[in-house]
């Protein structure tokens, strides 16, 4: 993607809509890149549960928003729109937590037996096939970035560490958790592969 300009067709939310939703919602995540809030916003005439990803840097915001717009798919967290003034990406909120949560809580095994784990794996592979077909490498596939629907369908999230495939340059920074980086990445430092997917601890 040569430009960080946002597509004209991308849905925009105004500052007040986002500020009200965040004020009435709650913080659900924080990192060096920004803060994520959970709230409710009207999208296509319907009140929808949403995650508001408020990013610190304009370049990060525009790149990630553009990628979400390009890779829209049933197996990728849905993009509702953006608020440019607040550097905020508005995404669907999935209430069944992350894959990491279910792997870390033994009691959840009642609702998360192996046949559902296989379904999650297949959904994640479908997501990665689609993302790779868009010439994008996620670079941070881990249980924390796999969100689950109520029926345990899996959706890929968080494109903050992405790499545009075939862009010519290989970045030398380490991205993602060491335990989820594949051998080719470790060997070549940052020529990343998303195909090592771990569904167990």
- CATH code at position 136: 1.10.510.10
Looking at 104, 123, 140, 150, which residue is catalytic?
140
Of 60, 75, 92, which closes a domain?
92
Check whether residue 104 and residue 59 sit in a common domain. no
Check whether residue 34 and residue 49 sit in a common domain. yes
Please check whether residue 195 lies inside any domain of the structure.
no
Of 45, 67, 92, which closes a domain?
92
Check whether residue 134 and residue 178 sit in a common domain. yes
Check whether residue 87 and residue 32 sit in a common domain. yes
Please check whether residue 198 lies inside any domain of the structure.
no
Q: Is 197 exposed, middle or buried (0-12, 13-18, 19+ CB in 10 A)?
A: middle
Please check whether residue 10 lies inside any domain of the structure.
no
CA dihedral 179, 182, 186, 191 (to 10 degrees): -130
Domain residues for 179?
99-188
pLDDT for 53 equals 97
The pLDDT tens digits for 29-85 are 998 889 999 999 999 999 999 999 999 999 899 999 999 999 999 999 999 999 999
Question: What's the rounded Cα separation, in Å, for the pair 142 and 28?
Answer: 18
Please check whether residue 9 lies inside any domain of the structure.
no
Contacts with 80 (C-beta within 8 Å, 6 or more apart), sequence order: 11, 13, 41, 43, 48, 50, 90, 91, 92
Please check whether residue 201 lies inside any domain of the structure.
no
pLDDT for 20 equals 97
Please check whether residue 194 lies inside any domain of the structure.
no
Low-confidence ranges of the chain (pLDDT < 50): 1-2, 166-172, 174, 189-193, 195-201
pLDDT for 136 equals 87
Specify whether 169 is catalytic: no
Do the Cβ atoms of 110 and 137 come closer than 8 Å? no
pLDDT for 168 equals 47
Q: What is each CA distance from 89 to 44, 52, 127, 136, in whole angstroms?
A: 16, 6, 20, 19
Of 39, 62, 92, which closes a domain?
92
Residue appearing with tokens 């868009």? 134
Please check whether residue 6 lies inside any domain of the structure.
no
pLDDT for 176 equals 54
The alpha carbons of the chain give a radius of gyration, in whole angstroms, of 17
Check whether residue 26 and residue 82 sit in a common domain. yes
Please check whether residue 199 lies inside any domain of the structure.
no
Check whether residue 103 and residue 158 sit in a common domain. yes
In total, how many domains does the chain have?
Answer: 2
């Amino acid at each position: 993607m040569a430009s960080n300009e946002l597509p004209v067709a991308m849905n925009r939310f105004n500052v007040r809509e986002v500020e009200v939703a965040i004020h009435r919602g709650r913080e659900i995540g924080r990192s060096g890149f920004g803060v994520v809030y959970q709230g409710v916003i009207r999208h296509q005439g319907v009140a929808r549960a949403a995650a508001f990803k408020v990013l610190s840097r304009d370049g990060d915001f525009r790149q990630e928003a553009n990628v979400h717009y390009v890779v829209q798919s049933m197996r990728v967290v849905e993009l509702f729109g953006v608020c440019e003034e607040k550097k905020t990406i508005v995404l669907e909120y999935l209430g069944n937590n992350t894959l990491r949560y279910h792997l870390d809580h033994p009691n959840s095994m009642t609702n998360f037996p192996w046949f559902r784990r296989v379904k999650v794996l297949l959904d994640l592979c479908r997501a990665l096939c689609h993302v790779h077909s868009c010439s994008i490498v996620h670079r941070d596939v881990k249980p924390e970035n796999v969100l689950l629907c109520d029926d345990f369908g899996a959706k890929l999230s968080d494109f903050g560490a992405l790499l545009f495939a075939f862009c010519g340059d290989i970045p030398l920074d380490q991205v993602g958790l060491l335990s989820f980086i594949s051998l080719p990445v470790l060997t070549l430092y940052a020529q990343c592969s998303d195909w090592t997917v771990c569904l167990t601890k």
